[in-house]
Amino acid sequence: TAAVEEILQEAPGALRGKRVVVTAGPTREPLDPVRYLTNRSSGKMGYALAEAAVRAGAETVLVSGPVGLTVPAGVRRVDVTTAEEMFEAVMKELPSSDIVIKAAAVADYTPMQKANRKIKKSGDQMALELKKTRDIAEEVGKRKDGQFLVGFAAETDHVSDHAIDKLHRKRMDLVVANDVSQAGAGFDGETNIVTVYDDQGEVLRLPQMSKTEVARRLMGLIGERVR
Amino acid sequence: TAAVEEILQEAPGALRGKRVVVTAGPTREPLDPVRYLTNRSSGKMGYALAEAAVRAGAETVLVSGPVGLTVPAGVRRVDVTTAEEMFEAVMKELPSSDIVIKAAAVADYTPMQKANRKIKKSGDQMALELKKTRDIAEEVGKRKDGQFLVGFAAETDHVSDHAIDKLHRKRMDLVVANDVSQAGAGFDGETNIVTVYDDQGEVLRLPQMSKTEVARRLMGLIGERVR
């Protein structure tokens, strides 16, 4: 019945005694003291997940990139700016955690060099040299010792293929895929449209709903899997 | 006396009948649908200037990059995202304006190409090809026909040299310089520390004060100059 479904989905107390680490928001990769490379992540999905984790009874740490959101009640927030800082913060929390949910949109590339002074405009063209950042999900996948790893895949094309590939490469237990080119999904706004996969294939497909509701449903699913 | 000084500084009604265009905030230069290059401008200085312009009696247009600020009462806001959009918006407003205050931190460079799909991570390194954006202040300087042009120079070194050089190159009437590497100045926070130059040299040096107060002082100075 609907009432039972509601209870299962919201799973109150389903994560009691568990320690959850959620990452959220974008990272900023500085070129100089003023300029940086970033992305459109608002952090809303991650913050909603942290709130849902607390509601489900978990001790919750939110490793957050720079966003203008208020930390949900009961959540401990660790503020970071760059991909490197987020990497370090997650690795520090990992050994004592049971569940890691990587909802942040971490920069894949960062400037090779950060200028100490503001770069002055000169030529008509310039090449900005970038290097790959350390992959947090991949490293968590390697180091994990019983932790349940949930990743996100924000894609604009071949969404399920890219997501499932990511799950395998990074040893995730679940991957939450969304097509950020779709209206009502992803970075902007208050709603999301997600499909969740495990290594056997699709496990949950949600229509457009608020990020708060998506977070509760995901936390319900995670609660079932870690029991 | 202090009271007279207060009246002169705040210059109530000093800009009655004048039309002021203020630019504010950063721009965002997209690499793909998700990632972009931007800067740390909060938009607070520009928004404070627009508010001060309205208080001084001016019809005020605020050409604003993406910031999370509320438009001041009485101000007409034009929202833009990229440097190119800001250029177009300012040129459109220019012919009917009396005063142009360029407080935005417009990107100097933008990606040569914008990918339609999210760029997938591949090599360990990559070079991002950038091209110079069109210089708004320089173009306003060229096109201006009686308009009073005020620019900002956010610098981290050789502040006065860079600012005065900018004033001359871009035919500004005043340049407002701040050292963004200084605590209490520039992009972060609620205060600023500025020095104003015209083509004869330094005309106003303000200690650390709120951006609201800086804006009122600057508007007082502008009011004296355009009278």
Question: pLDDT tens digits for B195-204?
Answer: 999 999 999 9
Strand A109-111 versus strand A99-102 pairing type: unpaired
A42: nearest CA in chain B? Answer: B34
As a whole number, the mean pLDDT across chain A is 91
The pLDDT tens digits for B58-110 are 999 999 999 989 999 999 999 999 999 999 999 999 999 999 999 999 999 99
Which CATH number is A38's domain given? 3.40.50.10300
How far is residue B184 from each of residues A49, B188, B192, B214, measured CA to CA in Å?
A: 35, 8, 6, 12
Contact across the interface for B39 and A37, Cβ inside 8 Å: no
Residue A191, number of CB atoms within 10 A of its CB: 18
Would you list which residues of chain B are within 8 Å, Cβ to Cβ, of chain A? 31-40, 68, 105, 107-109, 112, 116-118, 120-121, 123-132, 154-157, 162, 180-181, 187
Contact B86, B65 (CB under 8 A): yes
Cβ distance A38 to B38 less than 8 Å, yes or no, reads yes
Residues of A in Cβ contact (< 8 Å) with B132: 121, 123-125
Q: Is the dihedral of CA A107, A112, A116, A118 positive or negative?
A: negative
Minimal CA separation from A134 to chain B, in Å: 10
User: Contacts of residue A133 in chain B, CB cutoff 8 Å?
Assistant: none
Nearest to A12 by CA among A225, A218, A216, A226: A216
Is B100 inside any structural domain?
yes
Contact yes or no for B17/B226 (Cβ under 8 A): no
Q: Is A118 inside a domain boundary?
A: no
Q: What pLDDT score does A8 carry?
A: 47
Structurally, how many domains does chain B consist of? 1
Q: Is the pLDDT of residue A183 over 80?
A: yes
Asked if residue A82 is part of any domain, the answer here is: yes
Is A152 part of a structural domain of the chain? yes
Q: Tell me if B83 sits within 8 A of B110, measured CB to CB.
A: yes
Place of tokens 């107060």: B213
Lookup: tokens for B1: 């006396």
Residue A125 lies in a domain: no
Do B39 and A38 make contact, defined as CB atoms within 8 angstroms?
Answer: no
Per the domain annotation, does B120 fall within a domain?
no
Q: How far is CA B22 from CA B10, B36, B101, B178, B218, in A?
A: 18, 24, 5, 18, 13
Domain span at residue B51 reads 2-115+129-226
Question: Is the per-residue pLDDT at A4 higher than 70?
Answer: no
- pLDDT of A92: 98
Query: Which residues of chain A are at the B interface, by a Cβ-Cβ cutoff of 8 Å?
Result: 31-40, 68, 105, 107-109, 112, 116-118, 120-121, 123-132, 154-157, 162, 180-181, 187
How far A2 CA sits from the closest chain B CA (Å)?
Answer: 37
Of A120, A132, A180, the CB nearest to B124: A132
Domain assignment of residue A117, yes or no: no
Is there a domain that residue B219 lies in? Answer: yes
The alpha-carbon gap from B32 to the nearest alpha carbon of chain A, in Å, equals 9
pLDDT digits (tens, 9 = 90+) for A199-227: 999 999 999 999 999 999 999 999 999 98
Given the structure tokens 């924000």, which residue do they identify? A154
Active-site annotation of B, residues: 39
